[in-house]
Amino acid sequence: MADGSAGQREWRVTGMDCGSCAAKVRGAVERLPGVEGVDVALMAERLRMTLDETQTPPERIEKAVRGVGFGIAPKGARPEKPNGGFVLPDGAFPDAAESSETDIEPEENDKPADEAPRSWMNSSKGRLVVGTGALLAAAWASRLVLPAEIAHWAFVLATLVGIVPVAQRAFAMTRAGMPFTIEMLMTIAASGALMIGEPEEAALVVFLFAVGELLEGVSAGKARDSIRALSKLAPKTARLEVGGKTREVAAEKLQVGQVVQVRPGDRVPCDGEVMSGTSGVDESPVTGESVPSLKEPGAEVFAGSINAEALLRVRVLRSAEDNTIARIVRLVEEAESARAPTERFIDRFGRVYMPAVVGAAVLVAVVPPLAFGLAWGAWIYRALALLLIGCPCALVISVPASITSALSTGARNGLLMKGGAVIEAAARTTHVAFDKTGTLTHGKPRVTDVSVLIGSEDDLMSLAAGVENGASHPLGQAICVEAERRGVHAAAATGGRALPGKGAEASIDGVIVSVGSPRLANARGALTDDLRTRAAALEAEGKTVVIVLCEDVPQGLIALRDEPRADAADAVAQLRNLGISSVMLTGDNPRTAQAIAEALGIEHRSELMPEDKVTAIRNLTTDARVMMIGDGINDAPALAAAHVGVAMGSGTDVALETADAAILRNRVTDVPAKIRLARATMVNIRQNIAIALGLKAVFLVTTIFGITGLWIAILADTGATVLVTMNALRLLFFRPAGPPERIGPTAKKAHPEHAAATT
C-alpha cells in the first residue's frame, strides 16, 4: 500500500445478531488483499476498514459480506435487507412485504434510530420460525391420521425445507474460510439425524434453531435500541429566526451563529448560548441531572435538553454533527471498537474451541463402536448432540452484550467510557488522582469573607467593585460578581490602572482607591499588626486576601478562594468506602492545597507542573491501578499517563479527546458512580461466562451418557444465548449513583491500608 491508494471505507451491515455474526463478517473480508484494520461493530451495525481499492474494489467487499448472508450498503445509503434465510417467498405475509426496508425514506437511510420498529413476524427470521413451525405442526398432524411411513416423510420434508437455507449459509462461510460455524454444526446434526432414522428430532432441532436465532435477533435489537434512543433526544426541527421572522427548518441544517427560538416544552435543537430569556431547563435527558438548571443570557444549553418555563433565544455554537448528543452517540458507537481484554481472550479461545468440539464429536461417534463394539447409531446420535452443545454463541456474546448495555447505561447517566477496555480497567481501579482547579473545585475564585475596618460591607464592596470594574483578572471579576450578587452598585471610577503583581487602583470621587495584596499595603506602610494578623489567619485557610485602601488608609479586607464543589467531600468518602484511595494533584501553593485537602479528607501534592503530575501518576502506577480526573489542557498528559483518564464535561476539548472517559454532569460523585458501573459490568460478564460454560458442561456430560438428546442440546444452546443476553440487559436498569456517604471518623477508618498507600 505504499502508493497511498488506501483509504478508510465504511458500510452498514444488517442482519448481525450476536458476536459470532460479527466474527463471520470480519472473517469474510479480512483475508481479501488490500484490506487492513477491519472493525465490525455489532450494535452500531458498522463495518469499517482501510481498503486499497487497487487490490480489492468495494464491490468485492460487498459481495463477500452478502455471500455469508448479511446485507451491506455504503455509509449513508439505503440499508439492505439480508439475503437468504426465508422459508416462504416474499408476499406470503403481506404485512412483511409492505414493511420491507425499501419503504424507508431516503433521508433516514443513515439514521438507524429513525427506522420504524418492525414486528418480529415481519423479519426474515420471524418468517423462518413461522414456516418451520407450520411444517413441523403439519408433520405431527400427519402422524395422527396417516400411516407411519408417510408421516416419516413429512418430518423429512419439514427438516429439509428448514435446513436448506442454513446449509447454504454454512457452505458459503466454508468457502470464505470459516468451516466451524453454528450453521455448519446444525447442517451436520440435522443431516446426521435423518441418516440414522430420527427425522422427528431433526425437524424439531431445525425449528428450535430458528426460534433461537429469532430470540437472539430480538435481544440484540433491544440492546441496539437502547443506544439508538440517544440520537432521538435531539429534535428534528428548529424555529430559526430569519429577518425578524421565524420559520421551521431541519435541525441538522442549522449553522453556527444562527439564532433559534425555543418555546416552553420544546427540546433545544442545538448546542448554543442563550441570547435572551430566563428559564429553567431540564438537562436530565443529556446529563442525567434531575434538577432543572436556570439558564440566563450567556449560559450554555445542550441539544436534547427541555425548556421548561419561558421562551429562550439561543445562538447556535456547534453544528448538528458536533453537538452534545451527536458526540455522545459517536462515542458510544466508537467504544465498541475498544474491545475488552476478556472479550479478545474469548475470541481467541473460540478459534480453538470450535475445532476441538468437532474433534471430540468425531471421537464420541467413532471410538465407542470401534473400541468397545457399541451401537453405531446411538453414539453417532450422541456425537451430533455434542456438536450442537459445542456452539460458542452464548460464550461469544457474553462480553459484548454486557459492555454494550453498560455503555448505554453510562451514557444515560452522563458517564461516558470509550469501550470495554476502559470499563475493565476502571473496574480494577485502586487509586484515584484528582486535579484541583475545575475538578475538585469550581475553577473560579469566589468571595468568602468581607472584613470591614471603616464603614459598611456594602461601602467596601462598592469601592472594590468600582476599582475592579471591567477587570480581566479572576480575582477582580469575582469581586464584581459578589457585589452584583449583593445588589451593590460599583462606585463610579476614573483613571483605573493595573499594578502588576500587586493589584489595581482608580480614582473615586477624587480619592485614590487601591485594591491589592497585603504586599501592596505593606509597601505603602498601611499594613498594621492587626491587619497582618487578620490576613495571615485567612491565608492559613487557603484564601487569597486583598486589602482596600483609600489614600493608603485601610478600609477592610476581602478574602477569596476557589471553593470545593459541594459534592467533592462526599465523592472522596464514597471512594474510600469502595476501598479506593484518593490524592489531589495541584499546582497551587502548599498552604492553599492543604486547606482544600483537609476540608475534603484527601491526601495532596502541591506546586506540581504538568510534567510533575505525569511523574506522580507514573509513580502511582508502578504498584496500583490509577484513575486520573482532570479538566484542563495541563491535565492532558497526566490523563494519558494513568490507566484510566477521566475528563470533566466542562473541560477543554484536548482533555476530552485525551481521556478514556468523561463525566458530563461535572459532579465529583460521578467518579465513584463510574467505578460502580464498571465493577457491576465485570460481575455481569463473569456471570455470563459462568452461564455459558456451566450449561455446556452440564449438557456435555448428560449427552455423552445418553441422558439428553438433540432437541435438548439445541434448546440448551439457545437457552444459554438468551439467558446471557437477558442477563446483560439487566445493566440497562443499573443505577450507578450510590447514597451520600457519611463523612467522619468512621468513614475515614474504612480502608486505612489504602489511605496509607497514598502518603
| 241 and 229 fall within a common domain | no
Whether 133 is in a domain gets the answer: yes
Confidence of residue 115 (pLDDT cuts 50, 70, 90): very low
| 227 and 241 fall within a common domain | no
Tens of pLDDT along 199-221? Answer: 777 777 777 777 766 766 665 66
Would you say residue 575 has pLDDT above 80? yes
Is 435 assigned a catalytic role? Answer: yes
Spatial CB neighbours of 494, under 8 Å, sequence gap ≥ 6: 506, 507, 508
Model confidence pTM above 0.95 = no
| 214 and 130 fall within a common domain | yes
Would you say residue 604 has pLDDT above 90? yes
Q: What rounded mean pLDDT belongs to the chain? A: 79
In the chain, the percentage of residues whose pLDDT exceeds 70 is 79
| 452 and 553 fall within a common domain | yes
Kindly tell me the sign of the dihedral angle through the C-alpha atoms of 257, 259, 260, 263.
Answer: positive
Confidence of residue 328 (pLDDT cuts 50, 70, 90): low
Whether 609 is in a domain gets the answer: no
| 454 and 556 fall within a common domain | yes
Would you say residue 229 has pLDDT above 90? no
| 242 and 135 fall within a common domain | no
**Residue 475 belongs to domain with CATH number:** 3.40.1110.10
Whether 462 is in a domain gets the answer: yes
Would you say residue 97 has pLDDT above 50? no
Whether 557 is in a domain gets the answer: yes
Tens of pLDDT along 9-68? Answer: 999 898 877 666 777 888 889 888 999 988 887 767 889 899 998 899 999 999 888 888
Would you say residue 479 has pLDDT above 90? yes
Q: In what order do the strands lie in the sheet with 661-663?
A: 415-417, 661-663, 644-648, 626-630, 431-435, 581-585, 603-605
pLDDT at 548: 95
**Catalytic option among 266, 347, 435, 570:** 435
| 308 and 286 fall within a common domain | yes
Whether 226 is in a domain gets the answer: yes
| 456 and 525 fall within a common domain | yes
Would you say residue 82 has pLDDT above 70? no
Contact between residue 74 and residue 11 where contact means Cβ atoms under 8 Å apart: yes
| 486 and 535 fall within a common domain | yes
DSSP β-bridge partners for residue 7: 51
First to last CA, the chain: 52
Kindly tell me the sign of the dihedral angle through the C-alpha atoms of 148, 149, 153, 156.
Answer: positive
Confidence of residue 487 (pLDDT cuts 50, 70, 90): very high
| 203 and 266 fall within a common domain | no
Q: Which of 209, 233, 257 is the last residue of a domain?
A: 233
**Residue 61 belongs to domain with CATH number:** 3.30.70.100
| 535 and 493 fall within a common domain | yes
Would you say residue 154 has pLDDT above 80? yes
Confidence of residue 553 (pLDDT cuts 50, 70, 90): very high
Tens of pLDDT along 735-754? Answer: 998 665 544 433 333 333 33
Spatial CB neighbours of 45, under 8 Å, sequence gap ≥ 6: 12, 13, 14, 16, 112, 224
Kindly tell me the sign of the dihedral angle through the C-alpha atoms of 570, 573, 579, 584.
Answer: positive
Q: Which amino acid is at 687?
A: Q
What per-residue string of b and e applies to 567-600 under the rule 16 or more CB within 10 Å gives b? bbbbbbbbbbbbebbbbbbbbbeeebbbbbbeeb
Whether 689 is in a domain gets the answer: no
pLDDT at 108: 36
The Cα–Cα gap between 742 and 748 comes to 10
Count up the domains in the chain and report the number.
4
In the chain, the percentage of residues whose pLDDT exceeds 90 is 25
Q: Which domain holds residue 267?
A: 237-322
CA dihedral 270, 420, 223, 162 (to 10 degrees): 140
Contact between residue 431 and residue 347 where contact means Cβ atoms under 8 Å apart: no
Whether 679 is in a domain gets the answer: no
State whether residue 505 is helix, strand or coil: strand
Tally DSSP H helices, then E strands, for the chain: 26, 26
DSSP character string of 97-127: HHTSGGGS-GGGTT-GGGSPP--GGGSHHHH
Q: Which of 270, 294, 322 is the last residue of a domain?
A: 322
Would you say residue 98 has pLDDT above 60? no
| 452 and 557 fall within a common domain | yes
Whether 684 is in a domain gets the answer: no
Q: Which of 561, 592, 616 is the last residue of a domain?
A: 561
